[in-house]
Amino acid sequence: MSIAYDCTDPDSRSAGIAAARAALKGGHLVVMPTDTLYGIGCDAFDNRAVGDLLAAKHRGPDMPVGVLVGSWDTIDGLVSRVSPAARELTHAFWPGAVSLVVEQAPSLAWNLGDTRGTVMLRMPLHPVAIELLREVGPMAVSSANVSGKPPAATMTDARDQLGDSVEVYLDGGPAEHAVASTIVDLSGPQPRVLREGAVTSARIAEVLGVDAQSLA
């Protein structure tokens, strides 16, 4: 039986963060607000929980899960190398709506799906998400919807689709932008925008000092 907490109320938010922390430590799933859309997440290093997350979304490992972090420094332990382009983009857009695909550290014992040695990282600009991430560490997070259905812009949208597959729902009100993050692939020789979302390719190009056409 899942439980929802109104995170716009300070007391309920504290109780919700505590419940979400306990759920994640117990290998369960949590839905939380982010600055883009609602996300369904688990402990990034709990491979069974990641499998449960994929099952809840009705999707397979061919669509791997990204990772949310609660601070800039966290990525240093998750990647093989933080490139100058990654530093520039994190300084410019984190916390915010830019996800970076980078080569993961080879020593990491996680299984996020068929990532081919990469990981997609983002630091969200939402106080509830940041508070939870700073308490529990990196979380494997995907949009809080069943694959093929509309992404969840509210906690109710997420609960209607995911139901009791999630133990704790954190309700932060409607998503402020309700637009997915922009995904930039930094794992190859040249940066590429895989998905243009809340941040335009032109802004990415401006920060990197390149022509926007080169990111296509």
Residue 214 is assigned to a structural domain of this protein:
no
The three-class DSSP label of residue 86 is: helix
Nearest to 119 by CA among 22, 187, 18, 51: 187
Residue 64 is assigned to a structural domain of this protein:
yes
pLDDT digits (tens, 9 = 90+) for 139-170: 999 999 999 999 999 999 999 999 999 999 99
Residue 192 is assigned to a structural domain of this protein:
no
Q: What is the DSSP letter of 3?
A: E
Residue 142 is assigned to a structural domain of this protein:
yes
Mean pLDDT of the chain: 96
Do 32 and 20 meet the contact criterion of CB atoms below 8 Å apart? yes
Q: Report the pLDDT averaged over residues 128-140.
A: 97
Report whether pLDDT(33) > 90. yes
Q: Where are the beta strands (DSSP E) in 54-181?
A: 66-68, 98-103, 118-122, 139-143, 168-171
Report whether pLDDT(85) > 90. yes
Q: Are strands 66-68 and 168-171 parallel, antiparallel or unpaired?
A: unpaired
Q: What is the DSSP letter of 214?
A: G
Residue 36 structural domain? 3-179
Residue 97 is assigned to a structural domain of this protein:
yes
User: The domain spanning residue 7 has which CATH number?
Assistant: 3.90.870.10
Report whether pLDDT(109) > 90. no
- Report if pTM > 0.85: yes
Query: Which structure tokens are listed for 36?
Result: 């883009």
Report whether pLDDT(122) > 90. yes
Q: What residue type is assigned to position 72 of the chain? A: W
Residue 89 is assigned to a structural domain of this protein:
yes
Nearest to 64 by CA among 112, 104, 111, 122: 112
Q: Indicate the number of domains in the chain.
A: 1
Do 184 and 195 meet the contact criterion of CB atoms below 8 Å apart? no
Q: Report the pLDDT averaged over residues 35-46.
A: 97
178 or 172, higher pLDDT? 172
Do 104 and 117 meet the contact criterion of CB atoms below 8 Å apart? yes
Length of the chain: 216
Do 54 and 41 meet the contact criterion of CB atoms below 8 Å apart? no
Residue 203 is assigned to a structural domain of this protein:
no
Residue 33 is assigned to a structural domain of this protein:
yes
